[in-house]
Amino acid sequence: MAALADAYLEHLGGRSVRYKERQQAILRCWVLPRLGAVAVSAWTPADSEQVITAARARLAPATVQGVGSVLRSLVTFAHKSRWLPREVDPMWGVRYSARAEHQGEAAGFVPRDALPNDVQCAALFDALVDDDQPTWALAMRLAHRCGARWGQLIALRPCDVDFEPHRSIRISRAVEQSAHARTIKAPKNAQKRTTIFPASLSPALAAHVEDVRSKSGDSGLLYPGPDGGLAERRQFLRVWHRAAKVAGWPMTNEKRALWHPHDLRHVAACWMLFDVGIDGAQVARMLGHANAAFTLSRYVGVRSGADATTNGLTEGW
């Protein structure tokens, strides 16, 4: 199995650096310690189940799914490379995807009441300003409404922001962070798109865009790191968790907040769908989802009080 894993990683030559690093980390930490010495011909579903069970005891469901996906990819590679005959499937019957608790929800369903509300978000933004981080406060306010991922947010330039004739953000590139470097790449799934921001954010955002344009031109970074280059996520997380603690957010420990910057993307999705009332297909396009069905199954159940609402609608029948 160790030799199969080495051949599989070599096979990933065309994939992104970050993707290969994730695959390598999962193999090193979860698969090879248990299966490395197992002969490929002796690999059974029981062996795979052992790996998944161990991962499920310590990892979040999304990460467990990543472990299962690596195992499934190893099987596919073993079939294509003829390490295993097609009729042998060491992942047969092995479940690794999270299951939704309610009908119509996606496995990765995001309940709105599990996210920071607007009052808590405003407290975070104020704490960032008080911590002498006004640029990051503005960046988080933008993410809170436009739904950009971290890598897309820190790749934004003045030329990506429009105020007339419509307020829009062009998501045309992203920053990929590996263990060794940060580089510019196409956005996730190589899909360029535009998204929105509210009118209340326009004055502050316009002033910042013009300030960056005057100093660095249309291609300057709106949200650079301390050295003026591409921002580094781990450095920002220290600022984030410090501000979250000051804002009174729930903490998992003394230095780590319950919510992460990516949760602002979920907040933005809920705002678009349920507060503004934008059509689900349009929200899917702005978030960069494959289709509206995914968007709706991921967020549609976030509104509470469904029983009261439906009872009220059917009161006269």
129 in Cβ contact with 155 (< 8 Å): no
Q: Which two tokens stand for residue 58?
A: 């310590």
What is residue 302's predicted lDDT score, i.e. its pLDDT? 47
112-302 topology per CATH: hpI Integrase; Chain A (1.10.443)
The CA-based angle 241-242-247, given to 5 degrees, is 90
Q: How far apart are CA 174 and CA 230, in angstroms?
A: 10
State mean pLDDT over 269-291: 93
Tokens of 53: 């069970």
Write the pLDDT tens digit of every residue in 227-260: 999 999 999 999 999 999 999 999 999 999 999 9
Q: According to the model, what pLDDT value does residue 308 have? A: 74
Give tens-digit pLDDT for 82-131: 999 999 999 999 998 877 666 655 667 888 889 999 999 999 999 999 99
pLDDT, position 296: 87
Closest CA to 290 of 201, 194, 188, 218: 188
pLDDT of residue 127: 98
Alpha-carbon span 158 to 61, nearest angstrom: 38
Among residues 208, 211, 195, 4, the alpha carbon closest in space to that of 90 is found at: 4
DSSP state, 115?
Answer: S
Place of tokens 């890598």: 151
Tokens linked to 232 = 């580094």
Assess contact for 73 and 262: CB atoms under 8 A. Answer: no
What pLDDT is recorded for position 313? Answer: 78
Q: Is 293 helix (H, G, I), strand (E, B) or coil?
A: helix
Structure tokens at 292: 């509206």
**Mean pLDDT computed over every residue of the chain:** 91
pLDDT band with cut points at 50, 70 and 90 for residue 314:
confident
pLDDT reading at 306 higher than 90 = no
33-75: pLDDT as tens digits: 999 999 999 999 999 999 999 999 998 888 899 999 999 999 9
pTM above 0.85, yes or no: no
Percent of the chain with pLDDT over 70: 95
- For residue 279, the 8-state DSSP code is -
Query: Rounded to an integer, what distance in angstroms lies between the CA atom of residue 66 and that of residue 70?
Result: 6
Task: Give the chain's radius of gyration (CA, Å).
Answer: 22
What's the confidence (pLDDT) of residue 31? 96
CA–CA dist 193, 285 (Å, integer): 7
Instruction: Retrieve residue 298's tokens.
Output: 């991921």
